[in-house]
Amino acid sequence: MASEISPWSFPDTPGPRPRMGHPCATEALLLNAIPQPLLWFFGAIKRTEAEKQLLHSGNEPGAFLIRESESRKGDFALSVLDERVVKHYRIRRLDEGEFFLSQKRTFPTLNEFVSHYTKTSDGLCVQLGKPCLKIQVPVTFDLSYKTADQWEIDRSSVQLLKRLGSGQFGEVWEGLWNNTTSVAVKTLKPGSMDPNDFLREAQIMKNLRHPKLIQLYAVCTLEDPIYIITELMRHGSLQEYLQNDAGAKIHLNQQVDMATQVACGMAYLESQNYIHRDLAARNVLVGEHNIYKVADFGLARVFKVDNEDIYESKHDIKLPVKWTAPEAIRTNKFSIKSDVWSFGILLYEIITYGKVPYSGLTGAQVIQMLGQNYRLPQPPNCPSQFYNIMWECWNAEPKNRPTFETLLWKFEDYFETDVSFSDHK
Q: Tens of pLDDT along 347-366?
A: 999 999 999 999 999 999 99
Per-residue pLDDT of the chain (425 residues; tens, 9 = 90+): 333 323 333 333 333 333 333 333 333 333 333 344 478 998 888 887 888 889 888 899 999 999 988 767 778 899 999 877 888 888 888 888 889 988 889 999 899 999 999 999 998 889 999 999 987 644 333 444 454 446 888 999 999 999 988 776 788 999 999 888 899 998 888 877 777 777 777 777 777 888 899 988 888 888 888 898 999 998 999 999 999 876 678 989 899 999 999 999 999 999 888 889 899 999 999 998 889 999 987 655 555 444 445 444 555 556 789 999 999 999 888 899 999 999 999 999 999 999 999 999 999 999 999 999 999 999 999 999 999 999 999 999 999 999 999 999 899 888 754 333 333 33
Q: Of 3.40.630.10, 1.10.510.10, 1.10.10.10, 1.20.120.530, which CATH number belongs to 236-413? A: 1.10.510.10
Q: Annotated catalytic sites, by residue?
A: 278
DSSP string, 214-264: PPEEEEE-SSSSPEEEEE--TT-BHHHHHHGGGGTT--HHHHHHHHHHHHH
pTM of the model: 0.68
Strand-strand pairing, 64-68 and 291-294: unpaired
Reference 90, options 418, 417, 412; nearest CA is 412
Going 331 to 334 to 337 to 341, the CA torsion angle's sign is: positive
User: Residue 108 gets which letter from DSSP?
Assistant: S
Q: How many CB atoms lie within 10 A of CB 97?
A: 12
Give the pLDDT confidence score for residue 298 in this predicted structure: 61
Contacts of 344 (CB under 8 A, 6+ apart): 389, 390, 391, 392, 393, 394
Asked if CATH classification 3.40.50.720 holds for the domain at 47-118, the reply, yes or no, is no
Rounded Cα gap, residues 347 and 242, in angstroms: 12
Element (DSSP H or E) covering residue 337: helix 336-351
Rounded Cα gap, residues 356 and 379, in angstroms: 12
How many percent of the chain have pLDDT more than 70? 79
Contacts of 383 (CB under 8 A, 6+ apart): 252, 420, 423
Give the pLDDT confidence score for residue 345 in this predicted structure: 98
Delimit the CATH 3.30.200.20 region(s) of the chain.
155-231
Give the pLDDT confidence score for residue 3 in this predicted structure: 32
Give the pLDDT confidence score for residue 300 in this predicted structure: 58
Delimit the CATH 3.30.505.10 region(s) of the chain.
47-118
For domain 155-231, the CATH superfamily is Phosphorylase Kinase; domain 1 (3.30.200.20)
Delimit the CATH 1.10.510.10 region(s) of the chain.
236-413
